[in-house]
Structure 1
Amino acid sequence: MQAGDWDARYAERQQWSGEPNPLVASLVQDLPPGDAADVAAGEGRHALWLARLGWRATAVDFSATGLARGRAQAGADRVTWVTADVTGWSAPPGSLDLVLVAYLHLPDPPMTDLLRRAVGWLRPGGRFLLLGHDVDNLAHGVGGPQDPAILHSPRRLAPVAGLLDVDRLATVPRETPAGTALDTLLWGRRPSSPGASV
């Protein structure tokens, strides 16, 4: 989908809950606050939640309408809002403590290229979290995009995982009102050793 398509969706109604994804919350809530980027933030639910926890959060999305919904929320003044195509946007190298990519789906090579660059935005020890619809969801789950070329899997994320000290790379279930959906989770940190390269 293009920016105009997402603008139209966000103009119709709020697309997502105002609360963070429960798995995102469980992984991030106890981290010490720092600098974070919510990549493909949509309406900014994760950036707003991070800001409430004391993070200096930047929400980046190409939908001006989605970001406008986020800017209208309480606490929006504590978030930096950036309207940009995430495939062309960059944070300064080594400037972030957390990169969060939730439910961004692009074909390769743009997806892998973006994620590899995003690892480079992290400070040594900074956290990387990707959560998105898994390709196995097509046959064994519910909802989500139906194009296998844009869906994640642990195998497809292996080139990015190779740049991280990985805590978890797995297909994980997510309960929805329609049934069980399958997501891919990549949770890790940028290596602290001086010899590690991105």
Structure 2
Amino acid sequence: MTGTTGPLDATAWDRRYADPAGVWGAAPNVWVVQELGALAPGRAMDLAAGEGRHALWLADRGWKVKAVDFSSTGLEVGRNVATAQALGENIEWIVQEATAITPEPGSADLVLVAYLQLPATQLQAAVTVAAGALAPGGRFLFVSHDASNLEHGTGGPQDPAVLQTPAQVAGWLRAAGMSILSAETRTRAVAGKLRPALDCVVVAQASPGDNERNRA
């Protein structure tokens, strides 16, 4: 949920996450619930986890989650909630910039990247490396503010450099060797706003391993 271009950005997000009112709220994103709610739990990486709302939601459903963000304050908010909800053993909180992660190949059954705000070159690099963490047949969910949201939607960044199209992100994931299950702009209602938000939502899957192909 947070972007990164340097340590000053992490400091700025630390200040935002220090607000007792919170930044993103506790409820998971609607597309996260829609796309992941029916999956059997396994090992997940939540990249740009922010205050951990999605990591907490996944952990509550039985997932073992690595929640990664460059804001130590944001992750501390999530860690405190996890402790209060007895979910602490299911989440590992990792302070790390999205562009500097080095996940172990095959270490995740799910990678979630939700609202990571980076310029295209940096975002593609982060997405590609994160995709490499997936085990055979693993799922990748990418959610962001769509490029069309700037003109036709509500909220979100006002810098077109950090906005994407589904075709753009799908191209990155195909180049990383993944199959695209869906890539589309979706409309999300926003409370108190006449216009909806427009989100870029891409779902992809890692190639199956030899054992899965043999069973097919």
Q: TM-score, normalised by structure 2?
A: 0.86
Q: Secondary structure at the match of 2:100?
A: coil
Residue of structure 2 equivalent to 1:146: 158
Does 1:63 pair with 2:71?
yes
Q: Secondary structure at the match of 2:33?
A: helix
Query: For the residues of structure 2 that align with 1:60 and 1:66, how far apart are their CA atoms?
Result: 10
Residue of structure 2 equivalent to 1:173: 187
Task: For residue 35 of structure 1, report the CA deviation from its aligned partner.
Answer: 0.5
Query: For the residues of structure 2 that align with 1:90 and 1:174, how far apart are their CA atoms?
Result: 33
The count of corresponding residues between Structure 1 and Structure 2 is 194
Runs of at least 5 residues in structure 1 that lack an aligned partner in the other structure: none
Contact 1:52 1:75 in 2 (8 A): no
Residue of structure 2 equivalent to 1:9: 16
Query: For the residues of structure 2 that align with 1:21 and 1:67, how far apart are their CA atoms?
Result: 18
2:99 paired residue among 59, 63, 87? 87
The one-letter code of the counterpart of 1:109 is T
Task: For residue 193 of structure 1, report the CA deviation from its aligned partner.
Answer: 5.4
The one-letter code of the counterpart of 2:61 is L
Equivalence map 1:125-164=2 (5 Å): 125-162=137-174, 163-164=177-178
The one-letter code of the counterpart of 1:130 is F
Query: For the residues of structure 1 that align with 2:115 and 2:87, how far apart are their CA atoms?
Result: 21
Query: For the residues of structure 2 that align with 1:58 and 1:90, how far apart are their CA atoms?
Result: 13
Residue of structure 2 equivalent to 1:188: 204
1:99 paired residue among 88, 107, 111? 111
- Alpha-carbon RMSD across the aligned residues, in angstroms, is 1.3
Query: For the residues of structure 2 that align with 1:136 and 1:98, how far apart are their CA atoms?
Result: 27
Task: For residue 192 of structure 1, report the CA deviation from its aligned partner.
Answer: 1.1
Q: Secondary structure at the match of 1:60?
A: strand
C-alpha spacing 1:159/1:7, structure 2 compared with 1 (3 Å): same
Runs of at least 5 residues in structure 2 that lack an aligned partner in the other structure: 4-8, 211-216
Give the number of the structure whose residues are more often helix, by fraction: 2
The one-letter code of the counterpart of 1:119 is A
Task: For residue 158 of structure 1, report the CA deviation from its aligned partner.
Answer: 3.3
Residue range with higher mean Cα deviation, 158-167 or 40-49 = 158-167
Q: Secondary structure at the match of 1:72?
A: helix
User: Once the two structures are superposed, what CA deviation does each residue of 1:16-48 show, in whole Å capped at 9, x if it has no partner?
Assistant: 121211211111111111100000000001001
The one-letter code of the counterpart of 1:137 is N
Query: For the residues of structure 1 that align with 2:125 and 2:93, how far apart are their CA atoms?
Result: 23
Runs of at least 4 residues off by over 6 Å: none
Query: For the residues of structure 1 that align with 2:101 and 2:68, how far apart are their CA atoms?
Result: 8
Q: Secondary structure at the match of 1:87?
A: helix
Q: TM-score, normalised by structure 1?
A: 0.94
Task: For residue 145 of structure 1, report the CA deviation from its aligned partner.
Answer: 0.2
The one-letter code of the counterpart of 2:100 is G
Contact 2:182 2:204 in 1 (8 A): yes
Query: For the residues of structure 1 that align with 2:66 and 2:125, how far apart are their CA atoms?
Result: 20
The one-letter code of the counterpart of 2:173 is A
Residue of structure 1 equivalent to 2:44: 36
Give the number of the structure whose residues are more often strand, by fraction: 1
Percent of aligned positions that are identical:
43
